[in-house]
Structure 1
Amino acid sequence: MANAFAYIDGQLHAERLSAHQLAEEYGTPLYVYSRAALTEAYQSYVNAFTGYRSKIYYAVKANSNLAVLNVFARLGAGFDIVSSGEFARVLAASGKPHDVVFSGVGKRTTEIQIVLEAGGRCFNVESLDELERLNQIASESSQIAPISLRVNPDVDAKTHPYISTGLRANKFGVALDDARAAYRAALGMKHLRIEGIDCHIGSQITEIPPYLHAIDKILELVDQVEADGSSINHIDIGGGLGIRYNNETPPDIGTFVRTILNHFDRRGHGHREIWFEPGRSLVGNAGILLTRVEYLKTGTIKNFAIVDAAMNDLARPAIYNAYHKVDAVTPRDGQLPATYDIVGPVCESGDWLARDRSLALKSGDLLAIRSAGAYGFVISSNYNSRPRAAELLVDGARVHMARRRETLLQLMNGESVLPD
């Protein structure tokens, strides 16, 4: 992917806009997304689909900003949601109900009703209990719910345990050994229509073999359930393709997609409709987080650059011990660097954004935290009563205010003191 965040005349730019000027005008912390990067990543998938019946269902949980969703809706994407809130966002961003797949282990009755009545494309069912509830809800409104079963293939995706979803110990999906019986049960439920089969083994996956292993298991199951009378119209392999944060070497999108589709061909299933649910690989490197250095603090063991962004703004380092590259917006080429931990103002020792980074800094400098487009703002919170950051979407030399910065008054919206 071409770098939408590059240096021009010694200044970091977001496409054709100076990151320094964006920070001065809109304040920090500030998320900045590139429309060009979003589009390029999406087209990399589409271009690799040539000759196949494939579709992208963007994983909304990765970045649910309306402007980002609208970019993908205009490009023709479908959407993978895990809540009625995400469904409402898709519709507000001009997405269509029939382009929505509803996943997730804990769908509430009201959420199922909303998506079913709107005409959602498919429900990825994750337990026998959910199958029975969905059939009951559909019967109450005399509807037929389109379903696939999310099957847990017990495949190690070789990723962080918190984002591994395809092992027996994980909460997701119907166990492979139970899936054939579950499809038989679904065949007997009058208000369900079997459409396909789904599997998702994790996130930030940097190798292709775990996918191929999972697909082999799923295809064996497809043969079995079709022998039992089910028609499998689509196979959804989920998402999870990783990106480069530091020294990872994930396959590029085109290589990944073509390898997967060629494997279906070799197994005699290339005629089927194959769905992908990418999230991180579409948005991760399409965003940065801008933050300003408030103080430099020299310690006996560590030096600290205390910035105005914190773990409430970007939680990935604290949750996953995740690495994000950090660059000066305007490098100080004539100054010797020092080694800093980049930390925020939240009252937790776990409030860090980067560790042991060599940077030439002074108070007031701007830093860009790279690869912040996925699982950045969406996991942010108001911990320490901190307003959440603003979000921008840049398009060449144009900037769109994708989300205004929260105000202190908004922090207390809906709360009240005790009556007299």
Structure 2
Amino acid sequence: MTAPQTSWIDSANDGQTHFPLQNLPYGVFSVKGQSPRVGVAIGDQIVDLAALDDAGLLPAAAKGAFAGTTLNRFIALGKPAWTETRKRLTALLSGEDAALRDNAALRDNAALRDKALVPMSAAALHLPVDIPGYTDFYSSKEHATNVGRMFRDPDNALLPNWLEIPIGYNGRASSVVVSGTPLHRPNGQIKLPNEARPVFSACRKLDFELEMGFIVGKESALGEPVSTADASAHMFGMVLLNDWSARDIQQWEYVPLGPFNSKGFGTSISPWVVTMDALEPFRRDNPEQSPQPLAYLQQQDKNAYDIALEVSLQPEGAPAPSTICRTNFKAMYWTMAQQLAHHTVSGCNVRVGDLMGSGTISGTTPDSYGSMLELTRNGAEPVTLADGSQRGFLQDGDSVIMTGYCQGEGYRVGFGTVSGKILPAR
């Protein structure tokens, strides 16, 4: 087995960090008294890319792209600039090639290191992308089946169209927030079983949804569809995503046009965007699909990704979180390439920074279900946490923490975490 490539930043080499040299995810950070700017995570450090750019160490193609408060300017430069910048950063941070004077320009410059390296513990992380549009899909067969059995027909859980098209809806981008942002329990209309009319109430069945999201990196023109073969060229990277859900509000409102208030109160994403280049070694065979999709949804490339995922829940005051779900992104029935192809087949254009959610990710076993709705069978079978408390759905003060990573030989390419705490309804 070949030893993994290492960095001169020691914390990047322990085999457990989510941010080794093989990852180099992008995000936006700030330190006290300074404006947000673009950085790359490595080990327990953030590399200030604006500082490296000012020092002339980054590609000319990316000049000036890192001083802004979002990644959009850099993403819009396109794949050649992404690839060249990643290659340059790998050289600057590598412990193996640093003997070359050019590659040691950061390592051997103490003044620049002091300026460009920021401990993560000293930084605040911000929403990494200005998101023009948000779309959420419904692409886990196991999740769709579980929900169908609970709310429709146990013997015919999937609607006829589910196996033919990647079901999705146009959401809203205004309430996408970065990890760590607390959210208030939403209010809305709820239809109680024995009442003739709905009541206005705070949500009584608040839930999380374990998802991944991808960030569009290349726009498309109005009227021009993106094929499954070209889809990867339109993807910059991926984030963890928690699409919080008010189940009781949703159950009343979703017919006939789908969720609205039950989803509009908040979606949380992780602060680090892991690039598709970093995820390339973890592509896997696509899931079997039957019936065979229509021609525009057929795919030749491997578009599944092996990403281990985990969800923990921590009540307010509890000493530690309790793991309640473990699953894997590779189980998704519809791939991201198929989602993008279907999204654009009508001629809908996409823009740099658009966010596409996968839909809840559930596996085949009860401990791999990606929502409280499934884990507790709509609250009927509460989960027991490490402190002895039980949950059917989320209570005020609860924090939900999601994490995920790809396992390489001696290293991990990880996403960090996405977390959020539930505050009382206003």
- TM-score, length basis structure 2: 0.22
Q: Choose between structure 1 and 2: higher helix proportion.
A: 1
Instruction: Return the TM-score normalized by structure 1.
Output: 0.23
Larger radius of gyration: 1
